[in-house]
Structure 1
Amino acid sequence: MALPETLGRLRRVRRLGVGAFATVWLYHDDELDSDVAVKALADNWVDRLDVVERFLQEARLLRAAESEHVVEVHDLGETADGTPYFVMGYADLGTVADLVDRGPLEPAAAVDLIDQAARGLADLHAVGVVHRDVKPQNLLLRSDRRLGRRLLVADLGLAKELAFASGLTKVVGSPGYQAPEQGRPGVRIDQRADVYGLGAVAYRLFGGRPEERDPEASAPNPGAGAVADVIERALQPEPDRRWPDPLAFAEALRAAAAGEPDRTAAVVAEPLRRRWRWVAAAAAVLLAALLGLGLAVGPFGRGTAEPPVDPAPAAYCAGLVQRGEALSGLSGADPKDLRAGTQAVHAIRQLAPPEVAADWASLDDPLLAFEAVLDETGTSWEDYATDPDENPRVAEAAITMRRDLAGSAETLGRIQQHARQGCR
């Protein structure tokens, strides 16, 4: 069924594409003289409330990323006949799949596209979202005066969830691009699944055909040399053997393509579990304080006199030392680490002296709010660890919690300064 000729001030132009669950239309905003894309749920699914909610969840998650390399969501709504839709930015240059179909790319162009896609995926991971369906068709391209061609990550892998929710038994996936663990029941999916998908995209950009690979075998090189080795690591069947995140992969690929073997080796040597960017700096500040490294934060920088504080209670200082490693879980990608960090914050808050009690409360409150949602939805920490996106309300609460924690650098700075002075 076609969408209405008009949606508010938007005028329908033509259909851009159709899938099993949704159709995308081109509309024009006459007042702003700009094109937009409107994604609408297929009319045979509008009576399924669970499917409708998961469809709208995609819009919310894309909006939450606030990234120049994730497709923009401007609005969402419902037509008069009850069809849900959301309005997105229009990619006037098509998709990476269209680009590759037109002919081979120069290595520099391929590396640039992978770099832009990695930035978009990293911004999604920063708000706790794993894409799950990274492939050339889901990487859009639009004109950009600064970049010339800007890549936008789109179409989160919610089609897989929709298929499951709708009762379909057919496997929804993209041969050659889906990480092997996504087909294994009960396996928790993290950002390394997106590393695999991005690696398959790179494999395609450099002349290979991912759909012809055996996903359980070591990746055959799409060429030779350092570039092929970097891509091969991204396509390892076991997540622990891949690059830890898309940015590490993109950085290594750029170094290899530029003939910088030393730099590539340095990236390879990075830990396999790189901390997520949204609180990495804040976690480093807190850990440095706990370990007595004296990292300067806020107004009390190195070489600046710090105001004296009263000695902190011994139990509080001991708690910081004993639970310091667990606190690092607040910046981890693993829900199990997050749970450990949450429990550590709960415990230390009870020991905090008055000078930093409010700071620990502001750190603890977002975690308590998230746990309240877990309780209200009947979701255990184990359920959340198995599939963080299974319950839409829990997924949204996790985004809110992560955002609140991401803004805690100033709070951590005060805690760090107090611990440095009071726990000597």
Structure 2
Amino acid sequence: LKAINATLAHVWNKNEYYRSKLEEAGFTEPKIDSLEQLASVPFLKKDVIRGDKMKILCVDPKEIGQVHLTSGTSGKPIYTAYTLADQYVYDLLPKYLAIFEESDEDVAAIALPYEFALPGLGFQRLFQFAFGTTVLSLGKGGYMAPVDKSLELMKEYQATVLATTPSYAALLVEQSERYGIKIGEDIRLKKIWLTGEGCSSMFRDRLEKWWGCEVSFFYGSTECGGIGIECSKHKGYHLMEGHVKVEIIDPSSGKPLPNGQTGEIVVTTLLREGMPMVRYRTGDIGYLQQNRCTCGTTMDVLHLRGRMENMLRVNGEDYSPFLLEHFLMEIPEVGMWYHFRLNQGVLTIEAEPFQTNLSDEQLAEKIRKHMADRIGIECQVEIRHDIPRTFGKATRVFV
């Protein structure tokens, strides 16, 4: 509550847009008396800040130390400005040592974008400055970061930790054989942190088998920074309560939802001075659960269910791509690359075969039957041998 009020006071005093919205909502001072009153604070929507670098800036422009941006469907980016304090002090103070076990004995390979967005630099700062870890700045498939060089660097410096996206983790291990590098022998990781894309637990299970190490999820965004960290129990994301306050709302009414009910994730940053996000509607879907985790961490748990824009409506029901992926990945003959295509309510799954003697027709029939049995969806299936790999975010859903 103190952190939220400090944030409200900061945006009230430093930003015309935030102050006008608070005053329109009936605020005469930047303060709430209880966490329940947070619901009276206006939302911050993406369309308001998209393409406008000054809208919620709360410092003099000369105080900006770093700028990140995300691209949107409209083509206009969302700018996020960080002061030096945002980068090197506030984001590193709460380290969550019960979950992050990296130390100065580790070598962390960061295969995340360093261009424009936050993930690459964010993880580099975390590992270098919070834990003293050696960092290999691999990037993610750019001009100076081809896959073979990335794998070779991980081999030469004996990387123990990898931070990357689910699709790129699959691509690296898939390409390792092509370059004569053996995962588990030449590269022996003890931990992989996945971020930047969502994926199902079955997709993660496959990565754990391929890489021979624990794989955990990290949930965050360029706009809000870190939001949730998965512990070793793999039962949801522990909220980074030193950094953010998270709410779940009904997307239609905007009203807060109780624990256990699924809705849109709303984030308020608690330690940001450059561009604080106050009740920012993320467009992600999930639900909260009061902490019952046996790992010993006391922070409450967030369960992520995907993005609103990627939900697939089949037979009048909304399905998360993560859920569909989970059941698809249960079929061992199906590879890690696939597409879900929805056209006039008909779902088509494009899938690649993986280490199988089944014909394309037999595999397609197996997928159709499995999805009908497991989730009750009748779908069309196309077996492809040429699904393109990507160095960016994997596009799996086409509506």
| TM-score higher than 0.5 | no
Counting strand residues as a fraction of each chain, which structure ranks higher?
A: 2
Counting helix residues as a fraction of each chain, which structure ranks higher?
A: 1
Q: TM-score, length-normalised on structure 1?
A: 0.26
Q: TM-score, length-normalised on structure 2?
A: 0.27
When Rg is computed on C-alpha atoms for both structures, the one with the higher figure is 1
